[in-house]
Each structure stands twice: as structure tokens, then as C-alpha cells.
Chain A
Amino acid sequence: MIEALLSLKNISVRQGATAVLDSVTLTVKGHEVVGVFGPNGAGKSTLMNAIMGLTKVENGNIKFNQTTIDRLPTARRARLGIGYAPQGRRVFAGMTVHENLAVGCRGGSVRRRRLVNEMYTLFPPLADRRQSIAWQLSGGEQQMLSLARALMGEPRLLLADEPTLGLSPRAAEQVLDMLQKIAGFGTGVLLCEQIDASMTERCDRRYVMKLGKVSTEGAGKH
């Protein structure tokens, strides 16, 4: 029985009088891709932000790799091994592709160079545009950059918030291939998306999210 890499128990987040997350419980293990599907406003991004520490959590408990992290600041959680590719990509718009990757690395210059080259191999379009300023990239390229930047930290868990947003179907396929590949390397991947479609097959497990609540009903085949 593999211990869960990430485990959320009864997480709640309130915004004024609204419960944006309502007693959410879910787990992610290494080597697997877990999908959370739900419409806009369901709370998916809030869920990601809560795991990352960008949103404060009222109740409940988040454990990453057996460590309780729900009181830790965001940077600590990142350094523990959580990578984040947020909704809207949020690359560092004024910095080049190369700089975006470099800044994501926490090791010395040797390791940094090795990892950057690995990213260029994994994402060839980024290699072609390594000196371009990030805001000039297309949507798909920015999405790749966002993922690559997260991977520069060599995370054990990768959070991907709507990674196929605004991408052409082919680019979306490529991104999903990439995520499966990353899971194959041993990283746990938690992604959330709006559209169910072909993504259901890509995930090892699925959750459905609606109005702040998470369940496994109607999540498609297991």
C-alpha cells in the first residue's frame, strides 16, 4: 500500500459568507495523474491555491510526504517539493524564457544548466525561443514554459491548474502527454480542468468538483 504523497482532509475556505471549499478530502500518490473536474466557480483554483498556501485554509489538514504543511508559507512548500503551474500560466512576463527557467532552479549553476537543457529537450519549442521575452510567447508556449518552470524545482508533486486552457486540441494533447510522462518519472500530478472529454482517460483517478464540494461520483470510469 503506497502512502499518499498529498493528502487533504476536510479542507474549508471561506470568502465572506460563501464556502468556496467545503470539507474537501482527496489524495494523490506518486506515479499517478489525478484529475479534478468541475465547472467554473466550483473552486478548483482555490483548491490549488490552498495546497500551495496562497489561500488561507480554515479547517482541515494538508499533509505532503507525511509532513503537515497547512501552516507553512508558500515558499517553504515549494522547497519541500511541490511545483505549481497556475491558471493563466503566470510566467514572469518581463523575463526571457531562459531566465524564467533559471529562476525556477534552487540548486547551483551546474545543476541549473543541466536542468535547463533537460527542459529544452522535453519542450523543443522553448529551446527555439530561449531568448524571447515571455510576454511575446503564444498561449501554448507560455503553458509549456509554466510547466517547465515548475519542473525546474524537481518537484515530487506537480499542481497544474487548467493546463489546456486556450490551447489548440493538438497542443492540449501534447500537454497531457507531457503530464503523463512526468507521472511516469515518479512525480504525482494533480490537475484540474473544466472539460471532461478525452482527459478522463488520461487520469489514473478522477474527482468531480461542484460548488466547493469534491466527490468521486460521476467521475467516469476508474
Chain B
Amino acid sequence: MIAWLSRGINLPLALAAAALLLWSVSAGDSYSLRLLTTAGVFATAVLGYQFIFGHAGALSLAQGTFFGLGAYVTGITGSQLGWGFETTFLLSIALPMIVAAVVAMPVLRLESHYFALATLGIGQVVLLIAINWTSFTGGANGIAGVPGVGIFGFDVLRGWPLLVLVWSIAILASLLSWTAMRGTTGRAFALMRSDTLAAMSCGIDIRRLRFQAFLLSAMFGGAAGALHVHTNRIISPDALEFHIMVAILVMTVVGGRTHIAGAFVGAVLLSHLAEWFRFLEHYYLLAYGVLLLLTVVAAPWGIVGTAEIARRRFFPETISPPPRPNQIPSAEEPLHGLNIRGLTKNFGGIRALDNVNIDVQPGEILGLIGPNGCGKTTLINVVNGLETADAGEIRWNDKLLNGNSPDALARSGITRTFQSTRLVEEDTALDNVAVGRWEGGKGPTIDTARGQAMTLLNALDVGNAAMTLVQSLTQGVRRRVEIARTLATIPSLLFLDEPAAGLSAEERETLVVAIRKFAKDGLTLVIVDHDIEFISKVSHRIVCLDRGQVIASGTAAEISQDPVAKSTYFNGTSNPKAGQSQDD
């Protein structure tokens, strides 16, 4: 048992499911069967909601609307047109997806607080249409007498047959969900919701992923709505009311927002709770509210999420052996290098970059030094697309970079590391690196990606940390894991922000050797650091910045002789000659 537990929570859940099944067989009355059927319906809706709310981390309040739309399609086409399940079900999935696609374009690019409002507003509009378009929708009373499920002429009766159909669909949905999330896409979602900036810098197309998640949520929502109508044989505006959205939200949060099992646990638990609390009458919804509040505050990972964390603590996984290293494709060689002209950036009254001119040849390693506040990180942020320049041009391989988003730049081969590492704490180092191999639908499988990640971790001498969770790693190791992640995106131009901070002298040596090798393989690098020795050893050329301006540039030897550079920077920690400033 313990061995099984250490591989995941699935065994106890499977046992619980079997127990539930046995119990329902023995109870067998139509009432408990109907309850279980409803649970299956909502499990499907929750599985859909998990895509947008759980995986993509976006607060959509549209799931109830998709549910209601699916319900109305089935209700109307089934009762007025008499079409069979095989048609109505597909239409019930299609309409919500079409609506989702139409509203997604303007709505998904909104910040999260606007997004929630937009989805809520859409829901209200649809509800008003349903209530007022009486001739089509039956108005406030809806349409009764919706036929049961008829698949190509065969009637699926209520009770056991309907239960089996609904749960088959729910299980199919869960398989779909599992397949969608298991590759590098699942890791991309995890990074996206944990750190949007880092995700963009890895080339992850945030908008596209959100769009896909939104569409999937609509698909499953519509399916659930259709099944709901077949269970209840009536369609009314109740299916579009906010309390359906609330129910789905509570089930998702209580069950566990990114776990497939959580959808089932949440749906089964809350459907039955609604019945058990019926003695509370009006107050049963209040109990839902209290449950939601308690869960978010005390157990935000939901039942399954919390159980998984507990399981990991008490029955830790035997660390599986790291995968075998795989070949990584290389980037194409650029013809021209990086050319920055007249770059200027202000923050209010502070001039962070002042008419900066820098050139880097392809395959060159440029070191960038300067005191804190001189603009080094701002320079990276502007080139990387996180900030927009107020003036000036940035060209790479003769193409203008200004105005592009960080993820578009990353996909064309320009990426960077961060001053304080941005990694997914709960994932292994290996998976953190593997996410860099995400390429939409065209990238490698998760296994290939992991193998390639292994190669990179070895190249940076942190291969032995591959299977460890990032939260347990030291700064020095984390920095190299992040460098490995950027390399996984197969860049042609790479900015490293203080890669040597927190590294011992030995580790620095290894890093210098590794970086020099990357450059020989064709990578162009710009490295920002404070350690003069490290920069001198690793760079071909050095540029000195001070208060946003380039004050000196040349080889390490030239810089150490330059009087301006010396007075501004070299009277520092590495050279404790108490020399007086020459200027000012």
C-alpha cells in the first residue's frame, strides 16, 4: 500500500470511486441515481472550468453561460425540432465554442480584473436574451417536455442507462483533459500562471494558451449543459443563472483546481451536500458560500490538491532516475549582430538609459558592467520587450526589434535570465528546463524535451539536481537552472543578468567554460554582472554603464586602464585601492 501511495494519490481515489459505485448499486433508487447523474454532469463542467480557471489561472465567470447555452441548444432543438442526441449534443458543444471564440478575441487580452467583468457581463446579456426572447426560448418559463436522449433512434432511459452515458462522457472528458495537459503544454500552463513574465520570456504564447483554454472550457461546459437538460427534461433561464456559475466555481475550488480527480470529488461531494443540506432550505447555498470561503483561506489547493501535498510529504516519491540526455537542435547563425542606437528610457523624472549605443558581433560575448542603478537591467528589459524605449532603435540581424512583445522575441531567438530567478517552485529542475522546449503544437514530446533538458543541465554542471524540486535548491543552482531553461528555447541572442551571483569560485570557473562553449557554438551573449574578474574572464569585450550612459568600452585590459571607468567603477570591492575620484 505504501509503495502504491508513493506513486500518487490515484489508488485511494480509485478505491473511493469503486466504493461509491458499489454503494449506488446497492442503494439503487431513482433518486440517488439521479443525484449521481447530476454529479457526472457537473464533473464535466468542472473539468472544462479547470482549463481556464485552474490551468490558465484566469478568473472567467463565463462557465455558467457556456453551460446554459449548451442546455438551451439541446432544449430547443430537441423539443421543437425533434433532433436526435447525436446532432443536438454536437450543436450544444458548437454554439458555446463559437461564442467563446467570438468574445475571446477582445476579452482575453484584458487584464484579469477586466476579464472577469467582461465574462460576467456576457453572461448577464445572454440571460436577458433568454428571458425576453419568449417566442424562441420560452421566456421566463422556458420549455418543458424536452425529450430524453435518443441516439440514432435508440432511447437512453433515465436511471441506469442515462447514468452510464453521462459518466462515460465525463470520463471521456477527463481523458481529453489529461491528454491536453500532459505534454510540454501542461508545463507551459504551470509557468504561465506562476510567473507571466518568465513565461513570455521563454516564448510561451500567453494569448494563444488562454484562448485554447477558454475554448476547451466552452466545449466541456456546453456538453455538460446538454446532459443537464436531458436529466431534467426541462429548459429554463435557471440554467443561465449565476448560481450555476457559483456551483461550478465552488466545486472546482473545493475539489482541486488543477487535478482531474478534483473535478470528480468536487462534483460528487457538492451535489450530495446540496441534498444533505436541503433541511437547511434557503441556507444550503449559504453553506456553499462558507465552504468556498473556508477552502480558499485554509486549503486553497482543494481536497485533492491538499491530499496530494500531504501524500508527497508522508510518502515521498522514490526519485525516478533522470532521463537520458537527448540531442538539442541548434539555432541558425545570424549574419549581423546586435546594434543598439540612441536608446533612451525614462521613468518619470529618472533617466534610466541615456542615448546608449552598443554593438555586438555574432558569436561575441559582451560584458556589461556598472554600479547599481546604472541601467543594466533596464537595458535588458527594453531589448527583451518588457519595457518600451522612449527613443532609439534596436536591431538584431538587421531586423528592428522595437515594439515586439517578449514572447514574440523569444520565439525568434532572443531571450534572457532574471536577476532574481523566476522558476516554478513546485516543479523539478528538469521540468522547469523542459518547459523551454514548448513550441505550441509543433514541439517535442515531454519525454524528448526532458531528455534535452538533461543535456542542458549537464552542460551547466547541475545535472545531479535534475529531479529535485526547485524550492529546495540553492541560489547558485537555481541560476544555472534558469540559464538552462533559456538555452532550451534555442536562442541566438541571450542576455544573462548576474549569472554568477551566489556561485563559489569553482562554480564560476565551470560557468565561464560553459558560456565560452555556447558562444563557440554560435550563440551571441550579453552578460551583466558585478564581478569584474568573472566578466573579464568570460567576455570578449566589455561596456561600462553609469547612470544610463556608456562611459567606456573595449577589452578587459583596455577598460582597466581607462581613467573614467576606473574612477566610477574600479574603486570598488575587487580593487580595494582607496583611490580618490578624479572627477567631481
Question: B-contacting residues of A (Cβ < 8 Å)?
Answer: 15-18, 37-41, 93, 135-139, 141-142, 162, 165-166, 168-170, 173, 194-198, 200, 211, 218, 220
In the complex, chain B residues 273-315 whose Cβ is within 8 Å of any chain A Cβ = none
Count of B interface residues, CB-CB < 8 Å: 30
Number of A-B contacts (CB under 8 A): 85
B82 surroundings in chain A (CB, below 8 A): none
Most-contacted residue by chain B among A138, A173, A195 (CB, 10 A): A195
- Report whether over half of chain B's contact residues are helix, strand or loop; otherwise say mixed: loop
Residue of B nearest to A166 (CB): B373
For the complex formed, measure the closest distance between the CB of A214 and the CB atoms of chain B, giving whole angstroms: 14
- Not counting A93-B348, A168-B584, a sample of 9 additional A-B residue pairs whose C-beta atoms are within 8 angstroms of each other reads A18-B502, A135-B347, A136-B348, A142-B349, A162-B373, A166-B371, A195-B572, A195-B573, A218-B576
Q: Does B433 belong to the interface (CB within 8 Å)?
A: no
Query: Does B580 touch A at the CB level, under 8 Å?
Result: yes
With most chain B CB atoms within 10 A of its CB, the pick from A16, A37, A220 is A16
Nearest residue in B to A200 (C-beta to C-beta)?
Answer: B578
CA distance A110 to B76 in the complex (A): 74
Summarize A's interface: helix, strand, loop or mixed: loop
Is residue B473 within 8 Å, beta carbon to beta carbon, of the partner chain? Answer: yes
12 contacts between A and B (CB under 8 A): A17-B473, A18-B474, A37-B573, A41-B475, A41-B502, A162-B372, A169-B584, A195-B371, A195-B569, A196-B576, A197-B571, A220-B576
Which residues in A have their C-beta under 8 angstroms from that of B394? none
The residues of B that contact A196 with a CB separation of less than 8 Å are: 571-573, 576, 578
Pairwise interchain contact A198-B581, C-beta atoms closer than 8 A? yes
Contact status A166-B374, CB under 8 Å: yes
Contacts of B581 in A (CB 8 A): 169, 197-198
> How far apart are B573's CB and chain A's nearest CB, in angstroms?
5
Residues of the A chain whose Cβ atoms lie less than 8 Å from the Cβ of B583 = 169
Given contacts A139-B373, A218-B576, contact A39 B474 (CB under 8 A): no
- The residues of B that contact A141 with a CB separation of less than 8 Å are 349
Contacts A39-B531, A169-B581, A195-B572; is A16 near B472 (CB within 8 Å)? yes
User: Of all chain A residues, which has the CB nearest B504?
Assistant: A211
3 closest A-B pairs by beta carbon, nearest first, are A166-B373, A169-B584, A41-B501
**With A16-B473, A18-B475: A41-B498 Cβ-Cβ less than 8 Å:** yes
Considering only CB atoms, which chain A residue lies closest to B574 in the complex?
A: A39
Which residue of the partner chain A has the closest CB to B501? A41
A138 touching B349 in the complex, CB below 8 Å, given contacts A17-B474, A18-B474, A165-B373? yes
Q: Does B471 contact A (CB under 8 A)?
A: yes
Q: Tell me the complex Cα distance, A142–B351, Å.
A: 13
Q: Nearest chain-A residue to B571 (Cβ)?
A: A197
Show the binding face of B for A, using Cβ within 8 Å. Answer: 347-350, 371-374, 471-475, 498, 501-502, 530-531, 547, 569, 571-573, 576, 578-581, 583-584
Task: Name the CB-closest residue of B to A170.
Answer: B584
Interchain CA distance A209-B374 in the complex, whole Å? 22
Kindly list chain B residues whose C-beta atoms are within 8 Å of the C-beta of A165.
Answer: 371-373
Contact at A40–B372, with CB atoms within 8 Å?
yes
Q: With a CB–CB cut-off of 8 A, which chain B residues contact A194?
A: 371-372, 530, 572-573
Residues of A within 8 A of B371 (CB): 165-166, 194-195
Which residue of A has the minimal Cβ distance to B531? Answer: A39
Pairwise interchain contact B547-A39, C-beta atoms closer than 8 A: no
Known: A16-B473, A17-B474, A194-B372. A39 touches B571 (CB 8 A): no
> How far apart sit A197 and B473, CA to CA, in the bound complex (Å)?
35
> With A40-B498, A40-B530, A41-B498 given, is the CB distance from A139 to B473 under 8 Å?
no
A18 to B476 alpha-carbon distance, docked (Å): 9
Q: Which of B350, B374, B502, B580 contacts A211 (CB 8 A)?
A: B502
Q: Which residues of B contact A142 (CB under 8 A)?
A: 349-350
B566 nearest CB across to chain A (Å): 11
Beta-carbon nearest neighbor of B470 in chain A? A16
Q: How far is the CB of B239 from chain A (nearest CB, A)?
A: 45
Which residues of chain B are within 8 angstroms of A40 by Cβ–Cβ distance?
A: 372, 498, 501, 530
CB-defined contacts of B475 to chain A, threshold 8 Å: 15, 18, 41
Q: How far is the CB of A154 from chain B (nearest CB, A)?
A: 28
CB distance from B465 to the nearest CB of A (A): 11
Q: Which residues of A contact B373 (CB under 8 A)?
A: 139, 162, 165-166
- In angstroms, Cα B350 to Cα A93, docked, is 13
Taking A17-B472, A170-B584, A194-B372 as contacts, is the C-beta distance between A137 and B573 under 8 angstroms? Answer: no
The residue of chain A having its C-beta at the shortest distance from the C-beta of B583 within the complex is A169
Q: In the assembled complex, how far is the CB of residue B526 from the closest CB belonging to chain A, in whole angstroms?
A: 18
Q: A135-B348, A139-B350 are in contact. Are A197 and B572 (CB under 8 A)?
A: yes
Answer whether A220 and B578 are a contact pair too, CB < 8 Å, given A40-B501, A162-B372, A197-B571.
yes
Q: In the complex the two chains form, what is the Cα distance from A220 to B571 in whole Å? A: 13
Chain B minimum-CB-distance residue to A208? B573
- Which residues of the other chain, B, contact A195 by a CB distance below 8 angstroms? 371, 569, 571-573
Query: Are B580 and A138 in contact (CB-based, < 8 A)?
Result: no
Residues of the A chain whose Cβ atoms lie less than 8 Å from the Cβ of B547: 166, 168
